[in-house]
Amino acid sequence: MKVLVTGANGFIGKNLLMHLREKGGFEVVPFSRQHTEQDLPGLLDGVDWVIHLAGINRPENPSEFVTGNTGLTQTLCDAVKQCGRQIPIIYSSSIQAERENDYGTSKRAAEGALLALNEATDNPVYIYRLPNVFGKWARPNYNSAVATFCHNVARDLPVSINDPDAVINLVYVDDVVNHFLSLLEGKNSNPGPFVEVEPVYQISVGGLADQLNRFKATRENLITEQVGTGLTRALYATYVSYLPPERFTYTVPQHGDDRGVFVEMLKTRDAGQFSFFTAHPGVTRGGHYHHSKTEKFLVIKGDACFRFRHMLTGEFYELFTAGDKPEIVETVPGWTHDITNVGDDELVCMLWANEIFDRDNPDTFACPVGTEA
């Protein structure tokens, strides 16, 4: 499938082209600032779809809104009409088209050109009145508060906020791109002409800044946000994408003694924490029980013996595991337990606990396991 993408070097365009390359089966014809409007008829040759992303939103002169938004779109419509065949057009408009300002007026007029083409020739058009789009590769200090805030927070620069209670509507660039792709692949039956991307997220400007600063604080307190779904997932991916390469790494505290070292890696507010420890040959770690806390151990290097004893019945159990056999060992409340390095090399073991360690209420009580049933 041959696709003409205008604004191919812009924020959405860069993300779109990456996805099209990953999908395969698409031949992309890019249109960018190095081209002129006169190039459009030739670029349309053999094209199956047009994704029209090009436009002006930060001109030096307001008249550029008309030429860069309305004029370019009209030229595109004329070129499609003159080619004598239908070429579906996806257009990235803006929610500003609903407002009376220079930018919004120019986008609304561009929509009008597309609607006129559709009415005259039945050429399919899909108009997206997008709210603020955010994600990787957006330009900071341009027209995206998310990009600017991410860039500044990631570099310890101040963030300027005029009204922290002002609410902004956001769509994630991956959701926008996936919606475009669903049209290209025939998976979206929306007849148009106006189409919406979902989900649309809402957050206050102050809330956005607070969330990004919590992401930053994770490197100090090790407590991660709930970055697996929804807006927090998308914002975290965006924030991390603005980290300069020299900040790709960070150190975490290491606690060591004669037995080995213990390092906490990541903590969650509702699903526990992750860490690892080492043990020298012959060293035993643990020797305690819990009332409610549970743990999962995974030996990733060395040989280990786990021992358990029931606190009421005295029942004894031991098992052996090693780094070459991925096997989770789970501790059970009411059983005292320990782990001994029974190999000749250092033991390295990953550990998950279902809760963040609380020094004031550790739910950890010393009690030797012993070595016999």
Q: Is position 242 annotated as part of the catalytic site?
A: no
Distance between CA atoms of 15 and 138, rounded to whole angstroms? 10
Cβ-count burial 162-194 (b if 16+ within 10 Å, e if not): eeeeeebebbbbebbbebbbebbeeebeeebbe
**Is the Cβ–Cβ distance between 206 and 165 less than 8 Å?**
yes
CB 85 within 8 A of CB 44: no
* Distance from C-alpha of 7 to C-alpha of 26, rounded to nearest angstrom: 17
**Residue appearing with tokens 């106006």:** 194
Between the two ends of the chain, the Cα-to-Cα distance in Å is 71
Sort 287 into a burial class: Cβ within 10 Å, 0-12 / 13-18 / 19+: middle
Name the catalytic one among 91, 103, 201, 239. Answer: 103
State which amino acid sits at residue 86.
Q
Buried b (16+ CB within 10 A) or exposed e, 331-366: beeebbbbbbbebeeebbbebbbebbeeeeeeeeee
> Helices (DSSP H) in 87-166: which residue ranges?
102-121, 145-154
Say how far apart CA 269 and CA 160 lie, in whole Å: 29
**Do 175 and 238 form a contact (C-beta atoms < 8 A)?**
no
**Active site positions, annotated:** 103
